[in-house]
Chain A
Amino acid sequence: GEDVEQSLFLSVREGDSSVINCTYTDSSSTYLYWYKQEPGAGLQLLTYIFSNMDMKQDQRLTVLLNKKDKHLSLRIADTQTGDSAIYFCAETNRDDKIIFGKGTRLHILP
């Protein structure tokens, strides 16, 4: 079946780069997404990448996609305290439904 895996926790010092990794199983995925969820808030779509791309950059965010290994990563440059949140990796499956990972809780150290 379809599955999206990501580590549950990540701690990073303020000012350093954060790299959140994700693996997925559905090779037919068309889009892959990164969402941010702050405490008590809904989901915010941070960025997405089409499956025929291998990189996408948007200001402090860089998404890398290794389609052969089914590996997706999100790099946040110059991590700030406001980046503290849960980050969800997600993919669209062949039925156009979004399948989510369990989320990575990013903790910023002073």
Chain B
Amino acid sequence: SAVISQKPSRDICQRGTSLTIQCQVDSQVTMMFWYRQQPGQSLTLIATANQGSEATYESGFVIDKFPISRPNLTFSTLTVSNMSPEDSSIYLCSVNTEAFFGQGTRLTVV
């Protein structure tokens, strides 16, 4: 099974700033996904991170707010830009080959 490492595991950020979350997988995977879990809610897919091309965003999410990089088959980053308190959530990356998730990044925006 794939081992997925995310960092940071948690952060408290000032509104208006940006945070980049890293996701590292211990094996090469074609598809990586970024999810958001708002407090008390289920998970919502933000985007699919494609290696060698731009990420594919779900309805309600845009590249300017959540830029994603996917430089190779084992790594991806998600940036939460110009943060507001409404962005306080857990952000998780996943690899769909085995539907495993990283432990998530708990973000609090103050």
Which residues on A are within 8 Å of B, measured CB to CB? 31, 33, 35, 41-43, 45, 48, 88, 90, 92, 96-103
Residue of B nearest to A103 (CB): B42
- Sample (20) of A-B pairs whose CB atoms are under 8 Å apart: A35-B101, A41-B103, A42-B90, A42-B102, A43-B92, A43-B101, A43-B104, A45-B98, A45-B99, A45-B101, A90-B99, A96-B96, A97-B33, A97-B45, A97-B96, A98-B33, A98-B43, A100-B43, A102-B41, A103-B42
Residues of B within 8 A of A88 (CB): 42-43
Cross-chain contact of B42 among A33, A42, A101 (Cβ < 8 A): A101
Assembly CA distance A72 to B95 (angstroms) = 23
Residues of A within 8 A of B77 (CB): none
Given contacts A98-B94, A101-B42, A102-B42, contact A42 B99 (CB under 8 A): no
A98 touches B42 (CB 8 A): no
Which residues on B are within 8 Å of A, measured CB to CB? 31, 33, 41-45, 48, 90, 92, 94, 96, 98-104
A98 touches B99 (CB 8 A): yes
Residues of B within 8 A of A102 (CB): 41-42
Residues of B within 8 A of A35 (CB): 101
Cross-chain contact of B99 among A48, A101, A103 (Cβ < 8 A): A48
Assembly CA distance A99 to B41 (angstroms) = 13
Closest 4 CB pairs of A and B: A42-B103, A43-B101, A42-B104, A102-B42
A92 touches B96 (CB 8 A): yes
Residues of B within 8 A of A99 (CB): 45
Tell me the smallest distance from the CB of A14 to a CB of chain B, in Å. 25
